[in-house]
Amino acid sequence: MGRVGCYAIALIPLCLLLVVDLSLTQSCGTRKVVNFLIVNGTEAKDGYWPWHVAIFHNNARTFVYACGGTIVDQNTILTAAHCLMTSNGIIARERLVVQVGRNRLRVASNRAQEHEAFQLIVHPQYNVNSIQHDIALIKLATDITYTDYIQPICLWNRGEDQNSIVDTWGTVIGFGVDETDNPSDTLREARIPVVSAITCIESNRNAFATQLTSNMFCAGNRDGISACNGDSGGGLFFNFNNVWFIRGVVSFTKPRQDVLLCDTKEYTVFTDVAKYLSWIEQHIRETTGQPVVIETDNNRKIRLLPMSTCGPNPYASRKESSKPVLLGYPWVGLLEYTETGSREKKTICQATLISDLYLITGAHCVSSIPRRYTLSSVRLGEYDKNTMTDCAQVDGQTVCAPPVQTLRIESVITHTGFNKPRYANDIALIRLRDRADTSRNNVKPICLPVTNELRSQKPTHYTLTAWASGSSGNLLERSQRELVDSIECQQLYTERSVLLEKTTRQICIKQQQESSARCKFPSSAAPLQLVQQVQGTSRYVLYGVLSYGPKSCSALYPDVYTNVASYVDWILENIQE
């Protein structure tokens, strides 16, 4: 299923254990879930190693598992330098994805989170032609949300002396190949002893004598239990008083003869984390307790957004499923199109109000519509498209909304990267000619995730508000929609020859099947939202805009939404007074 990257160094090839596909203030190192190991102690249940991460590379048309890593803080991952390398040098950060909270490699989990890389920091003395200083950091673009299944590790604080750990046993974990020489689907662990440098060198002088330095150490039992291909970048952990510390990062071993797979009868070499603490600490965020605003250059633009009044949540004490829809989601709008030869206006797409002048919609709603249609206006405050006055029963009483506002469009800004590649960057800004009257309770803007804290949310469910597409969808409806694992989503779309541009820029959502086994398809550009704390108040924040999906009902073929959080900077750059 995979191949490994091995480099000829000195007189014998050493195998870097990398798999590449062929085709808030928080305590560290503490398990929050108490579980017992599965039979033989080779597989760990969910939550047993909450600091381990899986690193994926985007190779050609899909993301494939490459390496392991370890959570150091909310936006820092520790791994091996060679895990970030390709034949052309350091991998482009856009081609790398980090997933935390995974215990199964090929089975989706609601406990997992996915993060894209903001910066790849390879140790300055690392050289691809050498094994030395094989250590790197991945700075994430969004913060990890700690849960019982996602926790940081403690950095070693017991001195650099390697003699102090010789003959002690640590635990190495990973998704690397197992005894069948296939990548393990389940996170596995192995307890192995640290050996002295002399013992390691004497075991195989050709393999280790010219490569081993004081910044590395060896561990293993030479008994068939060790780290292997795909375990690179993962940690070797030690427990002191029920707190776990990382001391080693899996780097390399000698491969078997004529096969580029690890030889489990040889020792595994680890980068000694204790020798790099000062370098690591240079890149760890100092916790301030204050949310970080994305791209401070855009701070001045944030004042154009109604951050103190956006996303009102009038039924905050209720569960989402029991809230009234009428007046509950007043940012949802309809785009109106005039058709050639007809005075009747069509409503094909939705749009979401973010200020009294701007709305967000899908780029395909303005760039890919049939030529006979012309986008002309936006309808705000709508609930029932069949009635002039919108009314509904709320807590046993009839409640009616103010009149709908229909506003002309002044201009549209479509993302320049739309459809490059296919379906990518499907987002557009609409500017109104006249300001919307947001003093009415049926027309209010939603909040945008302008802080790192808001942008880093990784929920398992979102709230969708949409009219069903087609002539039968006259009433605004609300539903809870389940997140689909992005790696699984990418694989499903690859089978249909559609390459997702970047999994972190898109949100995959499971279709909702009714009891009749027929799907209701939401209108294009329908919004996904979440209730979050914004300036100390519970409010709605916009996270997704429906981009595309299947034309027939299929539970395994998800809808894809543009991830608004990835485009906040673009939005701020393009809004004006």
- Rounded Cα distance between 117 and 429, Å, is 26
Catalytic residues: 82, 134, 232
Q: Which two tokens stand for residue 2?
A: 């995979």
Strand order in the sheet with 461-466: 477-482, 461-466, 527-534, 537-548, 559-563, 506-509
Residue spans of beta strands (DSSP E) within 22-166:
52-59, 62-73, 76-79, 85-86, 89-90, 96-100, 113-122, 136-140, 154-155
The set of residues, in sequence order, having a beta carbon less than 8 Å from that of 218 and lying 6+ positions away, is: 194, 195, 197, 199, 200, 208, 212, 267, 268, 269, 270
3-state secondary structure of 245: strand
Nearest to 61 by CA among 570, 496, 522, 534: 496
- Both tokens of 109, joined, read 């989990």
Could you tell me which residues are beta bridge partners of residue 529? Answer: 463, 542
For 382, residues 6+ apart whose C-beta sits below 8 A from its C-beta are: 332, 333, 334, 390, 404, 476
Please say whether the beta carbons of 272 and 246 come within 8 A.
Answer: no
- The DSSP secondary-structure symbol of 468 reads B
Distances (CA, A) of 459 to 114, 267, 478, 480, 520: 11, 41, 17, 12, 23
CA distance 214 to 185: 34
Q: Are 334 and 475 spatial neighbours (Cβ–Cβ below 8 Å)?
A: no
Residue 467 token pair: 């009219």
Q: Judge if the upstream peptide bond of residue 421 is cis by omega within 30 degrees of 0.
A: yes
Q: Are 190 and 171 within 8 A, CB to CB?
A: yes
The DSSP symbol for 574 reads H
């249940």: which residue's tokens? 45
